[in-house]
Amino acid sequence: MRLVPVKYLKNDSVLAKSIYNSDGEVLFLKHLVLNDTTIENLRKLGILSVYIIDKYCETTKDITDDILGEYLRIESIRSLKRITLAFTSLDVDKRYTTVEMGSLSEIIKIANSIVDKILKTYNSVISTTDIRAHENYHYAHALNVAIISTLLGKQLNYSKDRLVKLCLAALMHDMGKAFLENEILHQYESSTKYECEELKSHPTLAYNYLKNNYMLDQEILLGILDHHESVDGSGYPNKIKGIQINEFAKIISIVNFYDGLLHNVTDVVLTSDSIESIMTYVDKTFDYNVTVKFFNIIEPFPKNTLVKLNNGDIARVEETLRGLPLRPKVKVLKSKINSNVGYNIDLSKALTLSIDKVVYYV
């Protein structure tokens, strides 16, 4: 299977994964053959990309490699949505003093389920992304940041207890936004040039609320408070640097950035430059050691992804090498030089070649 933005979909592609709304209801069943009507319905629902099987996939075998599993992902998003809507239905002033032990217990249950699943999973690489509609974007974002952060914690040899704490911090990293007026959130989401000062307060709002109302481990609280801090001291809210920043926050920071790249609503074409931009922030925004471990667990160009190389050839990704996510093994499908077609290239060895960007059809 391969991921294709809805705006580029063509008729007769076969849906490789079912699509659900945030209530867990099936919107489109896998194996559905897409046509103009279904593609238009996907657009109307605000779904940006879907997994398909077509002639460009090496195999038409049914593949479902969501590391969390379909059922657990759906149930987790439903729970996060229910908790969030119940909380945000209150007047803003009342939210500061409302204590919902049941909601916290539910989030802890989600965190334990994620950790149990990941510890039982042999594969520690995240190669697929989730399908999001606008209505469940924030819940899916929180969940995905939690999943990848937990995988990264596993790479760092965290104990199960510490993984659960990390997962909790990641699930709640943006909860401070629940204390902001909707107008502030919309102002930020429609802007590409700055973050308003009110929005920058969300880590502090979450930290103070959780510290004052719940008996949570300090490491969880600091993971939430510090997740927008930068190792060079240029972040917020406290402009701390280096070893002053909680390690949970260093993990959540890079994962939060990466998930934003994968689900950028203004540009659905993933490029090597966008992934390499992470490296430009090492020792500025991101911690070096955390970044090295992070690149061991991601596959931004999974198997069957179509890519354009810097020489103009179109190739299909065959395999990603551990620790070298930007230099996979590929097979040339189209070239100005006919003899190149069908040729297998290991980009970790062919250093003059590189991936320019993802393409969707040959």
Same structural domain for residues 247 and 155?
yes
User: Sign of the CA dihedral 19, 25, 30, 36?
Assistant: negative
Cis (ω within 30 of 0) for the bond into 203?
no
What pLDDT shows up at residue 353? 96
Q: Which residue has the tokens 């260093």?
A: 250
Choose the weakest-confidence range: 8-17, 193-202, 329-338: 193-202
Residue 300 CA, distance from chain mean position: 10
The answer to whether 301 touches 320, Cβ cutoff 8 Å, is yes
Q: What is the pLDDT of residue 188?
A: 46
As a whole number of angstroms, the distance between CA 54 and CA 60 comes to 7
Q: Is residue 58 in a domain?
A: no
**pTM attached to this predicted model:** 0.86
47 and 177 part of one domain: no
Extract the runs of DSSP E, i.e. beta strands, from the chain: 2-5, 14-15, 19-20, 26-28, 49-53, 306-309, 314-321, 324-334, 344-346, 355-359
pLDDT range class, residue 343, cuts 50, 70, 90: very high
Tens digit of each residue's pLDDT (9 = 90 or more) over 136-166: 778 889 999 999 999 999 999 999 999 999 9
Nearest to 150, CA basis, from 136, 169, 174, 127 = 169
Q: Which of 51-60, 110-119, 222-231 has the lowest mean pLDDT?
A: 51-60
- For the chain, the average pLDDT equals 87
Compute the distance between CA of residue 250 and CA of residue 291 in angstroms, rounded to an integer: 9
For residue 341, tell me if it sits in a domain: yes
User: In this predicted structure, what is the pLDDT of residue 37?
Assistant: 96
Q: How confident is the model at residue 300 (pLDDT cuts 50, 70, 90)?
A: confident
Same domain assignment for residues 21 and 161: no
- Strand-pair category, 49-53 with 26-28: unpaired
- Identify the three-state secondary structure at position 289: helix
Residues 150 and 290 in one domain: yes
The CATH number of whichever domain residue 195 belongs to comes to 1.10.3210.10
State the pLDDT at residue 92: 72
Residue 16, domain extent:
2-53
Residue 200 class from Cβ within 10 Å (0-12 exposed, 13-18 middle, 19+ buried)?
middle
Quick one: 261 and 117 in the same domain? yes
At 135 the pLDDT is 66
Q: What is the percent of the chain where pLDDT is above 70?
A: 87
**Domain count along the chain:** 3
Residue 268 has pLDDT above 70, yes or no: no
